[in-house]
Chain A
Amino acid sequence: MKARVAVLVFPGTNSEMETRDLLVDCGADARIVHWSEAASLQYYDAFVLPGGFAYEDRIRAGAIAAHDAMLDAVIEGAQAGKYVLGICNGAQILLEAGLAPGTGEVRRPTAAFTHNAQGHFICERVLLRRTVAATRCAIAAALPEDVLIPAWAAHGQGRLAAVPSHLEEIDNGDFIVFRYADVAGATDAHFAPQGSALGAAALTNREGNVLAIMPHPERDAWNFNHLDRSEGDDPLAPSGGSVLFESFVTALERR
């Protein structure tokens, strides 16, 4: 049976369709679950929090959603070992909910994806490289070794920030699953287009069942998103950024 994945929609979410479509194309039974249907979340095997501006980023990006009834189910699921993937605004919510890096208490954040260094929204192509061992994060475990994942940085608040002691813990504890890379695959803090600390693009938790990724691989995930780099003849086939979702679905099937 296919893994049942819930794609969560809060008021203000805007990337639910493509996220659902890509999960379906990668072999999951993915469904959009709306905020008025929070009670149904317990029946899903995994959760994906897509991009957007949940609750209009009121107070802080992700802050209100982190306390939403939908997150009760996500937190409970994450603690029981279910896989949770947050993309962009979804990643901001996971940090506010304390699920990633998960070094403090639940709903007591120890880090945040916050305002870009340039002070405004940016939208540009980026490349991501996994900089931890394959076993560190289950969701990213089935990625081809040394693959460069194409994605779009499309956010106003994508800069990882935390107090120095926490940043050190994040770095030393291999919480940074993906860092921004150049075409050659080198990683360096200055490849992060918004000035993210440690060049971090994605964080996991201690257990490795949560992934909070700031850029959007799902927006560069079909051949038609990058005709110059098509793989195979079908322009509608998944490729590029889809590798992360394939890895996510593989992890779910292996459980």
Chain B
Amino acid sequence: MRNSSSNCRRGPSLPDLAVAELDDEALRAQADSLGLALRVDELRSIAERLGRAPSLVELYAFDAQWSEHCSYKSSRALLGRLPTDGPDVVLGPAEDAGILHLGEHEGERYGIVIAHESHNHPSQVVPFEGAATGIGGIVRDVLCMGAEVVAVADPLRFGNVERVNEHQRAVARGVVDGIAAYGNAIGVPNIAGDCYFDGDFDDNVLVNVVALGLVKESEIVHSRVPRQGADFVLLLVGKATDASGFGGASFSSVALDAQEAQSNKGAVQVPDPFLKNVIMRASYRVFSLLRERGVEVGFKDLGAGGIMGCSAELCSAGGFGAEVDLDTVNVAVDRLLPEVIAVGETQERLLWALPEDIVDEVERIYNEEFSLPQVAQNARAVRIGRATAEQHYRLRHRGELVMDVPIDFLTGTVRDTLPAEAPVPPTMRRERDVLSERTLDDLFHEILAHRDVCSRAPLYRHYDAVVRGRTVIPRGEADAGVLAPIRGSRLAFALSVAGNPRIGRIDPQRAAELAVYESARKVVAVGGEPIGLTDCLNYGSPRDPRQYGELVAGVDGLARAARGFGLAYVSGNVSLYNAAANGHAVPASPIVACVGRIADLSRCVTLPLKEVGSHLYLIGETQRALGGSVLASILGLADEAAPEIDMERAVAEHRFILAAAREGLLRSAHAISDGGLLVTLAEMSFGCVAARRAPIGIELDGSVGWSSVGRNESLFGEWGGVVVEVAPGDIERFEALAESLESVREIGTTTAEPLLSFEDEAWEIADLQRSWSRPLEELFL
């Protein structure tokens, strides 16, 4: 791994790498000294295909392009198993972001653009900037589809943040501050997310990010040079290229150790949300210019592989080659090496492919109207090359050709075939009640205060949830964030994320299935009809058959559940090598985001109980399966089986909940997740002071009928399901609508007295709220 000091070479240029003349050992040593992650067989295949020794620039280009990060070489074959098409899919996972059909307004079809990424390794090394650049990168993925960026969400997995672990606490705080600093400044509301804490993330935190955009389906811009695009001009926009982020793509593709983490700080880019804010607004202006002219163009974000990776992919996706002159690139420092300009991952840059006759106007918008050069030194839009009919990728530097390779070879599919060992999940289902010594009261408070259960408000209050003024439901007030993206329209979308690492540890396939189920369930609980998914696969090393086996099982689980729910993945990301130098990997972490359609936002359902005298219903079937639950982790039950999903029934339940929401029969709703039913009820009862809702009590029915599985499985099991509040006058319609669904049962009523009562227990809601609301305050305040 290189560090930043090698970015400026002194003395005479190093020669090309004489691949053919070196034996394997010498070749490896040479490659290592150059900081190349390419394998010996890959190096040989490059030299063979080129028919000569590759130049250094070429080597760094292949190193980036064939890295796990860019090529998905360990996962691409697996990803083919995922369903990617369906009635609501406008664009599947082929470009920088996917697109789902949201609905129509005034005769226009609107799409929701969605991208899902990880910024795990950078966030471990420099938490603040790593997390900030995560937002920065994904926002560009959405923007370059021609979309207005309207929302972001952040699933986070931190290490053990107990008071003694100062480092883990600093990482968690740095990540949250970085997300806030970037997202707040660009003015995109953060409306959803989740957060888990586990010592198994100590060496590898997971920082995923989801971004959504709004686009008219007739105005989508693709990440490829259009068919008539031979000789289209490549116009680079944004920050001046510097030496930061050199080695980024291969850096994200290897396991970290603590010392490397220090020396790798140079591979993390420096974010500039202020510049991004201006670039976004200038790009919106360019979109409207292109609409006026009816011009078809290509637009792509610069991510892994920098200028080289972006221009090569933009052109080859359209069936073209490319020629780029590195001397024309706006740089922040003189004497940058050609390979740094070519593959360095400086932030805040995008690349247009434009017909010659519109380039001047687009340049003027960025450079003069939005004055990029005044916003950041030497930031601008600049012509750097052209798309070519000839199928070669060529780079020039100081008049010399420093790279000349067949473009399909550079951007083509690289696949590794790897051995996988299937995981063996626990199957224990204890017949008797698992609690013997602990009182219910004691356990309930401990679960409410558990780090995976307690209030996330101290964390998400750092994020702007309401900028742009179109937020319908911010985080914390329902199971999914809801936003109305189109002025004058009742159309809205819901967004949720899920992925439980406690399940991932014991049963990788089930964890993936449950992530899909939970994300869909949360969207349904606000009255949103799930229309599509994204996934981010966060795993250990694909070179470790057990860790690779977890990835295989995870993909199978994602595929199975998505098919069960009739959903497709339109975008995704794979993050591998989330393992420490000693080989210890993170728990299998397939993280899923679900988008829901809300045809009439006035039918949205929020979480807090609304009225005294309502009836509470549980929709879902209790299971004897405590595996992966918070209760199991508190009691140290490691061998319990994870819950199963009866997908046919879950789909029917979701359909019923949506019908009831549309009819206006649900006063409130809350999906059961971490902590189980009793936690769900408590959270509904807390009210919402700022929304001027006082706490409301709950009296649970004694005859709830959960004796078949045991009281504690019923109260604390995490098998899914949703609790809803129904007005007394609506019960008949509600029950009629439930019809043949057997898994809908009344479980209690709401009361004026602020107590949660059950059998002979009666908890003061204020006490429960105290246990639940405070644990994260000391960390994030």
Contacts and interface: CB of A to CB of B under 8 A. Distances in A.
A227 B527 CA distance: 13
Given A123-B462, A226-B691, A227-B604, A14 B467 contact: yes
A124 B690 contact: yes
Given A18-B468, A36-B369, A221-B469, A235 B274 contact: no
B567 to A, nearest CB: 26
A111 to B, nearest CB: 24
A120 interface: yes
Interface stretch (A51-59, A99-107, A137-145, A161-169): A51-59
Contacts of A19: 469
Contact of B464 (A55, A121, A126): A121
12 contacts: A11-B274, A12-B185, A12-B277, A14-B185, A34-B369, A53-B184, A122-B462, A183-B692, A218-B469, A224-B472, A225-B469, A225-B472
B212 interface: no
Contacts of B492: 224
B49 interface: no
A219 B463 contact: no
A14 B277 contact: yes
Q: By DSSP majority rule, is chain A's interface helix, strand, loop, or mixed?
A: mixed
A235 B180 contact: no
A194 B327 CA distance: 50
Nearest to A36: B369
B690 A126 contact: yes
Contact of B177 (A35, A51, A120): A120
Given A120-B180, A228-B606, A11 B463 contact: no
Interface stretch (B1-9, B64-72, B354-362, B483-491): B483-491
Interface string A35-56: 1100000000000000111011
Q: Which 9 A-B pairs have the closest CB atoms?
A: A14-B187, A18-B469, A125-B690, A56-B274, A235-B602, A219-B466, A219-B469, A152-B466, A154-B464
B250 to A, nearest CB: 32
A122 B691 CA distance: 17
B470 interface: yes
Nearest to B187: A14
A212 B473 CA distance: 27
A186 interface: no
Contacts of B464: 121, 123, 154
B109 interface: no
Given A121-B180, A122-B462, A15 B274 contact: no
B466 A123 contact: yes
Nearest to B369: A36
Nearest to A228: B691
A118 interface: yes
Contacts of B490: 235-236
A208 B600 CA distance: 42
- Most B CB within 10 A of own CB, among A55, A123, A124, A227: A123
B417 to A, nearest CB: 48
Contacts of A21: 469, 487
A226 B602 CA distance: 10
Nearest to B604: A227
A123 B465 contact: yes
**Residue among B177, B181, B464, B473 with the most chain A CB within 10 A?**
B464
Bin the interface of chain B by size.
35 or more
A196 B371 CA distance: 36
B186 interface: yes
A36 B473 CA distance: 35
Contacts of B462: 120-123
A125 B466 CA distance: 10
A19 B469 CA distance: 8
A236 B184 CA distance: 25
A224 B484 contact: yes
Contacts of A35: 371
A141 B469 CA distance: 24
Nearest to B488: A236
B469 A15 contact: yes
Interface string B502-533: 00000000000000000000000000000000
B779 to A, nearest CB: 12
A236 B484 CA distance: 10
A255 interface: no
Contacts of A69: none
Given A15-B469, A156-B184, 12 more contacts: A11-B370, A12-B277, A18-B470, A56-B274, A121-B180, A123-B462, A125-B690, A125-B691, A227-B604, A235-B600, A236-B489, A236-B490
A120 B484 CA distance: 28
A254 interface: no
B693 interface: yes
B781 interface: yes
Interface in B51-87: none
A12 B464 CA distance: 15
Given A120-B177, A122-B461, A224-B601, A15 B184 contact: no
Nearest to A226: B691
B383 interface: no
A152 B690 CA distance: 10
Interface string B365-382: 000111100110000000
A218 B371 CA distance: 29
B778 to A, nearest CB: 12
A53 B374 CA distance: 16
Contacts of A55: 274
A225 B473 CA distance: 7
Contacts of A31: none
A22 interface: yes
Contacts of A123: 460-466
Nearest to A55: B274
A52 B187 contact: yes
B277 A53 contact: yes
B573 interface: no
A21 B484 CA distance: 14
Interface in A1-35: 11-12, 14-15, 17-19, 21-22, 34-35
Interface in B253-290: 274, 277-278
Contacts of A225: 466, 469, 471-472
B689 interface: yes
Contacts of A219: 466-467, 469, 471
B662 interface: no
Contacts of A223: 602
Contacts of A17: 468-469
Contacts of B781: 118
A175 B584 CA distance: 61
Contact of B601 (A15, A51, A156, A235): A235
Nearest to B484: A224
B121 interface: no
A52 B460 CA distance: 19
Interface in B591-607: 600-602, 604, 606
A53 to B, nearest CB: 5
A216 interface: yes
Contacts of B689: 183
Given A235-B601, A235-B602, A227 B472 contact: yes
B610 interface: yes
B467 A51 contact: yes
Interface string B673-695: 00000000000000001111100
A35 B372 CA distance: 12
A53 B185 contact: yes
A113 B262 CA distance: 38
Given A53-B274, A152-B466, A229-B692, A121 B184 contact: yes
B239 to A, nearest CB: 14
Contacts of B487: 21
Contacts of B467: 14-15, 51, 154, 219
A15 B471 CA distance: 13
A213 to B, nearest CB: 15
Contacts of A122: 461-462
A167 B566 CA distance: 62
A52 B183 CA distance: 11
